[in-house]
Amino acid sequence: MVTFLLWCLLFIVCWPVALFALVLYPLVWLLLLPFKLVGIACHGVFELIKALILLPARVVRAIA
């Protein structure tokens, strides 16, 4: 909501820049999408490594 209000303010102050930003936003989102996917994959790998490292402690805690 804040982003929309800031865009409305930009539209009132300088409408050509606001329209340019409106057109450019989806293109920037598409360019950044692969980096987001790599970030999600790396986060998953790190969570898997963390789970594997902490597994022995969880097993010992469950037995005791």
Please report which helix (H) or strand (E) contains residue 64, including its range: none
pLDDT range class, residue 64, cuts 50, 70, 90: confident
8 Å CB contact between 21 and 10: yes
Domain hosting residue 47, numbered range: 2-63
Percent composition of the chain: helix, strand, coil (DSSP 3-state, to 5): 95, 0, 5
Over residues 7-40, the pLDDT tens digits come to 999 999 999 999 999 999 999 999 999 999 999 9
Per the structure, how many domains does the chain have? Answer: 1
In the numeric block, which tokens belong to residue 33? 């999408």
Average pLDDT score over residue span 52-62? 91
| This prediction's pTM | 0.59
